[in-house]
Amino acid sequence: MQVNPSIFKAYDIRGIYPTDLNEEIAYLIGRAFVTFLGAQHVIVGRDMRTSGPGIFEAVVRGITEQGADVADIGMVSTDQYYFACTQLGWPGMMVTASHNPKEYNGFKMVRQMPYLLSGDEGIQDLRRLVESEAFPIPHRHGSVNPFDFQDQFVAKVLSLIDVESLKGRRLKVVADTGNGMVGPILKTVYEHLPIDLIGLYLDPDGTLPNHGLDPLQPENRAELQQRVKDEGADIGFAFDGDGDRFFAIDDRGEFISGDFLTAILGRYLLEKEPESKTLYDVRASWAVPDGIKADGGIPLIERVGHAFIKRRMADEGAIFAGEVSGHYYFKSFNYADSGLIPSLYIMELLAKRGIKMSQLLDELEAKYFISGEINSKVDDAQGRLAALAERYADAKIERIDGISISYDTWHFNVRTSNTEPLIRLNLESIVSREDMEQKRDEVLAIIRG
């Protein structure tokens, strides 16, 4: 089968429907998944995309024709899918393109929780099987059975916090799920909480009539930021399309960087489990390791990507991990990422401490000056990385993921994109905002040549 090889990415399969990914290809991917894993059972869920029903039906047909039974968990968020994979202990395929635009679709694939298929481990094997169509003849035809884990999922996430503690301070919360998959489950979970919820776009709608699915893009969160200010809310929450990423807006209506949220959540969870390990990615602010160490925890750095983070967390028994991009992972949730769980912990933190989110951020913003991620289009990415290593040869240089260069008062990481001709820069100074901006411009001048 001729298939665009670029849809087989580092952490998942993703492409434009129907040119790069369609029912015929989905059918073959289903057969390849069963063949590669030798699976007897496969969990399958999907998000709200308009191409979802067709892709779902095709991949299920491929799985069952290859001899495996399907547990159909219906239309769910990705953290509900991870929960189902944990409960049943089976491999799974989630039909989603996460936060990509509505014309995309794809698959997030679990080998066995918390281990996922990645480019290095499984995804390229699937590509080769799809291209060759070298599938063994199955001995049986699989069946399809519906499964519903919603009640168990709701009970699980609520068990992670002290719901009673929220009664001491009735929080006003604005939540924007962007017509993605989080709305229905968020309503169900939050009904159990003594809070005042203002919901934006909670109904799943694959036509995306209101805004895009990636809250990292300022235009997709602008309305939420304004609404938090207009309502005098304590906090605003945003979720990406499939619900595995989480973002927050403070009481000033300001977007909170993933670095600072990782630092705040990591330190809070350390109170619950002292001296434990926390993972953070190579892009993160020093606020994360500094805060974890100050509170008696053990910070561990890891390369970007959920397949790598989950595996390392499980190996280390880490309590928590955070990525700058808005993924937050929890030992108590089988090392999986969830959008809903960090929202619950933040509400519990604010209620118990009787503090404003902006107060927690004040001390971080006064010490850590971060650039945020800056993308540059380049022709020779490896050449640019080599130029940076040469220019800053007197620094501490690490190559965990891209290149990380550290001095006493500033540091940066530069990584190449897995999917585009881009270089991504994250830089920080602990001197001043002006120092950060000067260093940022100096590094960008080298990157952009």
- The dihedrals phi and psi of 108, each to the nearest 5 degrees, come to -105, 125
Two structure tokens written together for 408 = 């006493």
98 is a catalytic site residue: yes
Instruction: Give bridge partners of residue 337 from the DSSP assignment.
Output: 329
Two structure tokens written together for 409 = 């008062």
d(CA 186, CA 190): 6
Q: Which residue has the tokens 């169509």?
A: 133
Q: Which residue has the tokens 């008062």?
A: 409
**CA dihedral sign of residues 98, 100, 105, 109:** negative
Two structure tokens written together for 291 = 């805060």
DSSP per-residue codes, 293-352: HHTT-EEEEE-SSHHHHHHHHHHHT-SEEE-TTSBEEEGGGTTEE-SHHHHHHHHHHHHH
Per annotation, catalytic residue among 77, 98, 325, 343: 98
151, 285, 368, 369, 370 from 363: Cα distances, Å = 39, 14, 9, 11, 14
* Coil, strand or helix at 432: coil
d(CA 360, CA 250): 10
SS3 sequence of 133-153: CCCCCCCCCCCEEECCCHHHH
Instruction: Report, as residue numbers or ranges, the catalytic residues.
Output: 98
